[in-house]
Amino acid sequence: MAETQQMKKFKTPSKGTPKAKHPISIDHHIAPQTPQSATPSAINLRRSHRLTAAFPEHRPAISSFNTHQSAAKTRKIFENPPLVLPTEISITPASPPPVESRKKRKFHEKSAEKSKDSRNVKYKHAADRKVKKKVYYKKVVYDGGEFSAGHDVYVKRRSDASSDDEDPEVEECRVCFKPAGRRVLIECDDCLNGFHLKCLKPPLKAVPDGDWVCCYCVARKNGEVMEFPEPQAGKKRARTAREKLLSSDLWAARIESLWKEVDGTYWFRARWYIIPEETAVGRQPHNLRRELYRTNDFADVEMESIIRHCFVMSPREFANAADGGDDVFLCEYEYEVQWHSFKRIAEIDNNENDGERVVDNDADWNSCDEFDSGSDFDSEEEAAYEDKKRNRLSQLSSLRPVAANSRKGQIFGLQKIGAKKIPENLRSRKQTDLEKAKSTLLLATLPKSLPCRDREMIEITTFIKGAICDEQCLGRCLYVHGVPGTGKTMSVLAVMRNLKSEVDAGSIRPYCFVEINGLKLASPENIYSVIYEGLTGHRVGWKKALNLLNARFSDENKCRKDTRPCILLIDELDLLVTRNQAVLYNILDWPTRPNSKLIVIGIANTMDLPEKLLPRISSRMGIQRLCFGPYNFQQLQEIISSRLKGIDAFEKVAIEFASRKVAAVSGDARRALEICRRAAEFLQNRKVMAGMADVEAAIKEMFQAPHIQLAMAVSSFCANNGETFPGYDTLLKVGCKLGECRLLLCESGTRHKLQKLQLNYPNDDVTFALKDSKELPWLAKYI
């Protein structure tokens, strides 16, 4: 294995170019990756050996290269001798930033005028000034295609050049070898070949629903041999880019950023995709045919090696892309090349990161010119940033282990965590109704809509909008209260999400939003540093943060840079009450100052929190209040049935019963959902709809006090009628035991005879529990 891996050491055509002196960022080995130098330190290889073995690496490559459109690029690779001096390696710190949204630049340029000659000349003197002249683009039009950061593309592999050259854009029918034309091609879900409906035997009238497997694959599965028809003599079957990719003759990559080098060549930073066969575990049985993994492996690649676009989608998009063409792929997991582990790609975080940032940067970017010094400055800054980042990573990877839990705000080593193998059961996509019901009833699942809280949400929206929209932005406070499980936090967050989309649409001013949970603070004073960090991103001690915040919100500070209003959401506000209530006072005092532009929304359970506080605080807070009453049974019913919409698992009566029961006790939506989920678990094995009985069983389980069950089992020792006397010490032991379970309240056992006992539950409960006890019928007489 090791030898064959070492034979393969370059990933893309670009590796042969001078660009290869950019160290591959993650694993910090900076061996020049040139085609000829057989460095043994090949750590981050993308190929497993059985695939690499198929490529004869040392054949005279030039002869095998075709002279089609890619000729110029490929030749260049060999004209530039792979002389990469070690000194140069250290010189080039600049590589494009991984955050693509930082650069917003609308710039289109046709790349037709590029000539390889000029490029080669320029390379000589470009090495030292490269940092200064790099220009980043948001979008580049190249070879007739428009590429921008975030797009997915096919990338040529150097060694694949021999196989076929025509590079077909159109898929052909596997039987008649004609392109689709006006007729429909149907794709087999197993071999991914396309067929004309008519070419099939027997011919199909329409595209069937669900999965479809062609007759060839069916035959192969049954053990028969059924060959695909051979193309006519002299005509070679063209392989599509998709086929080449899946047989690892092409790469797929995601463009992280684009830039133009000083010599006019265009480069992009690629984040590789990998096909399941190339991972450490190989293809797993649950892998779909069109599945790819995103890696955390980056490389700088020249634009010329791009073939064309492909489309890598998340599972949800993939499910909707029924006829997206042949270049559609599915990507659900990220593959960690160093640790060979998988991790789901979190869809949420992408949205969170851009949002506000893009909004601020827009103004700056529009103002500066494409080629002026502004961009130079920025790329330098970027370079410095990148440098720092690389230092950090290198530190992490090899030299000095960094503690995972104690870096200010940053956590190291998380990339080590990952599944070595994706568990199979998670990928079986067919859920039964019951499982669907269970997963939608989970508390963690965020419902698509929030029923029954429309009025409150409108109120919150108007409050925030009213506060933001005035030019003055008068500071305001809103106090939200209600019992747990009534959707307070969820409603506020939903409002904030809506507002954010309005900000994105441009209809209201941008603002910044800081969310704090009082119970998650180490101490109430810590809230200052958390707020300050939320606003500025810097971490300071709470005393300093208090001073800074005081200065920020005080009125003399009119000319500060950040003029956006700030919305502060404090959950579990009652936890901030200290002895002299200074924290609450400070926080609620800032909004009242002119020009503070601070809006505070406090959430707590108790209705009368403002009244319990000092008058100077309650006068600042208690003006605007919003009450979230407990849900009544109709609302609970609506909540549950809105979650279960489209899933046929629960009887209507059962839902009503559960919601009535909960509404009678607490009106807590979480409790109602849990009861329904438990009921769904009860009938896991039976294939029927959840009925009343299941719900009742669930309710019984959740509400019944355990002491009654226990009392039935323990069955009393205190009175012993007609049975042998067990001895005082035994009795004492029993007493202590019951005391431990808190059936009895008792003093510690050393008091012995003097120990005082008291029943912890009402007498009626004991009577009830012992009523049915068959073993001790006489006991009932005593009660």
Partner 1 sequence: MGVENPAEVAKFIIRSRIADPLFVYSYFSQLPDSNYSKLKYIISSSVTEACNNSVLLLGPRGCGKTAVLELVLEDLLKEHPDMISVVKLNGLLHSDNNCALKEIARQVCMEHQLQFSKMASFDENSKFLLSILRECGLAHKTIVFVLEEFDLFTEGKQRLLYSLLDAMQSVSSQAVVVGVSCRLDADQLLEKRVRSRFSHRKLLFLSSPGEDFQRLAEHILLLPMDSRLPNDFRASFNEKLLNILAGEEFKGVVDQLCYSDSTVSHLLRFLFCAVCHMDLSSGSLSIQNFKSALPSIQRQPKQEALKDCSVLQLYLLVCMKRLEVKEVELCNFNSIMKEYKSIPDSFQTCDNFARNVCLRAFEHLLQRGLVSFQDNRGQGQSTEFRPVKLLISWHELQQGLQSFPSCPVLLHKLMAREG
Using the contact rule CB under 8 A, the part of the chain among 136-144, 379-387, 637-645, 724-732 near partner 1 is 724-732
Using the contact rule CB under 8 A, the part of the chain among 42-50, 122-130, 507-515, 671-679 near partner 1 is 671-679
Residue with tokens 């300050």: 532
Residue 408 tokens read as 């200010």
H or E element: which one contains 49? helix 49-52
Residue 642's nearest CA partner among 449, 472, 403 is: 449
Subset of residues 301 to 330 that bind partner 1, contact rule: CB under 8 A: none
Using the contact rule CB under 8 A, the part of the chain among 43-51, 262-270, 630-638, 712-720 near partner 1 is 712-720
DSSP string, 97-147: -S-GGG---------TT--HHHHHHHHHHHTTTHHHH-EEESEEEETTEEE
Residue 536 tokens read as 């500025």
Q: How far is CA 284 from the centre of its chain?
A: 23
Smallest gap from residue 643 Cβ to partner 1 (A): 14
Subset of residues 743 to 772 that bind partner 1, contact rule: CB under 8 A: 743, 750-754, 760
Give backbone dihedrals phi and psi of 447, rounded to 5 degrees, phi first.
-70, 155
Smallest gap from residue 686 Cβ to partner 1 (A): 15
Smallest gap from residue 92 Cβ to partner 1 (A): 31
Smallest gap from residue 243 Cβ to partner 1 (A): 31
Q: At a CB cut-off of 8 Å and minimum separation 6, what does 708 contact? A: 765, 768, 769
Contact between 677 and 441 (Cβ < 8 Å): yes
Using the contact rule CB under 8 A, the part of the chain among 220-228, 241-249, 272-280, 697-705 near partner 1 is 697-705
Smallest gap from residue 43 Cβ to partner 1 (A): 18
In this complex, which beta carbon is closest to partner 1, that of residue 322 or of residue 346? 346
CA gap 294, 413 in Å, rounded: 19
Name which position in 730, 767, 778, 782 contacts partner 1 (CB under 8 A): 730
Longest dimension (CA), the chain: 112
Residue 83's nearest CA partner among 161, 12, 148, 21 is: 21
Subset of residues 590 to 609 that bind partner 1, contact rule: CB under 8 A: 605
Q: At a CB cut-off of 8 Å and minimum separation 6, what does 350 contact? A: none
Subset of residues 563 to 592 that bind partner 1, contact rule: CB under 8 A: 572, 575
CA gap 109, 138 in Å, rounded: 12
Subset of residues 381 to 440 that bind partner 1, contact rule: CB under 8 A: 401-409, 411-414, 416-423, 425-426, 435, 438-439
Subset of residues 441 to 480 that bind partner 1, contact rule: CB under 8 A: 442-446
Contact between 71 and 65 (Cβ < 8 Å): yes
Residue 51's nearest CA partner among 195, 250, 198, 232 is: 250
Smallest gap from residue 748 Cβ to partner 1 (A): 12
Smallest gap from residue 593 Cβ to partner 1 (A): 28
In this complex, which beta carbon is closest to partner 1, that of residue 325 or of residue 423? 423
Contact between 589 and 553 (Cβ < 8 Å): no
In this complex, which beta carbon is closest to partner 1, that of residue 562 or of residue 723? 723
Using the contact rule CB under 8 A, the part of the chain among 144-152, 453-461, 498-506, 725-733 near partner 1 is 725-733
In this complex, which beta carbon is closest to partner 1, that of residue 442 or of residue 623? 442
In this complex, which beta carbon is closest to partner 1, that of residue 505 or of residue 705? 705
Contact between 670 and 643 (Cβ < 8 Å): no
In this complex, which beta carbon is closest to partner 1, that of residue 206 or of residue 346? 346
Contact between 272 and 297 (Cβ < 8 Å): yes
Smallest gap from residue 416 Cβ to partner 1 (A): 6
For the chain, the first-to-last Cα distance in angstroms comes to 80
CA gap 572, 592 in Å, rounded: 22
In this complex, which beta carbon is closest to partner 1, that of residue 177 or of residue 761? 761
In this complex, which beta carbon is closest to partner 1, that of residue 203 or of residue 484? 484
Contact between 200 and 175 (Cβ < 8 Å): yes
Smallest gap from residue 453 Cβ to partner 1 (A): 16
Using the contact rule CB under 8 A, the part of the chain among 199-207, 230-238, 336-344, 583-591 near partner 1 is 336-344
Residue 434's nearest CA partner among 677, 643, 691 is: 677
Smallest gap from residue 189 Cβ to partner 1 (A): 25
Total residues contacting partner 1 (rule CB under 8 A)?
A: 88
Which residue blocks in 506-596 are alpha helix, DSSP H? 526-536, 542-553, 582-589
Name which position in 181, 203, 615, 726 contacts partner 1 (CB under 8 A): 726
Name which position in 197, 582, 710, 776 contacts partner 1 (CB under 8 A): 710
Residue 42's nearest CA partner among 79, 15, 61, 72 is: 15
Residue 645 tokens read as 């919409």
The pattern of x and - marking residues 506 through 545 that bind partner 1 according to CB under 8 A reads -----------x-xxxx---x---x---------------
In this complex, which beta carbon is closest to partner 1, that of residue 209 or of residue 729? 729
Smallest gap from residue 370 Cβ to partner 1 (A): 39
In this complex, which beta carbon is closest to partner 1, that of residue 324 or of residue 484? 484
Smallest gap from residue 25 Cβ to partner 1 (A): 20
In this complex, which beta carbon is closest to partner 1, that of residue 536 or of residue 592? 536
In this complex, which beta carbon is closest to partner 1, that of residue 454 or of residue 701? 701
Angle between helix axes 669-682 and 652-665 (nearest 10 degrees) is 140
CA gap 268, 254 in Å, rounded: 9
Subset of residues 262 to 301 that bind partner 1, contact rule: CB under 8 A: none
Smallest gap from residue 725 Cβ to partner 1 (A): 9
CA gap 709, 780 in Å, rounded: 17
Subset of residues 479 to 508 that bind partner 1, contact rule: CB under 8 A: 483-485
Residue 76 tokens read as 């260049």
Residue with tokens 């200074």: 582
In this complex, which beta carbon is closest to partner 1, that of residue 483 or of residue 582? 483
User: Does 706 sit near partner 1 (CB under 8 A)?
Assistant: yes
In residues, how long is the chain?
A: 783
Q: At a CB cut-off of 8 Å and minimum separation 6, what does 472 contact? A: none
Subset of residues 340 to 359 that bind partner 1, contact rule: CB under 8 A: 341-346, 348
Subset of residues 631 to 670 that bind partner 1, contact rule: CB under 8 A: 668, 670
**Cis peptide bond upstream of 202, omega within 30:** yes
Residue 741's nearest CA partner among 762, 704, 772, 714 is: 714
Smallest gap from residue 445 Cβ to partner 1 (A): 7
In this complex, which beta carbon is closest to partner 1, that of residue 551 or of residue 718? 718
Subset of residues 34 to 73 that bind partner 1, contact rule: CB under 8 A: none
Using the contact rule CB under 8 A, the part of the chain among 301-309, 358-366, 470-478, 739-747 near partner 1 is 739-747
Residue 14 tokens read as 């670009």
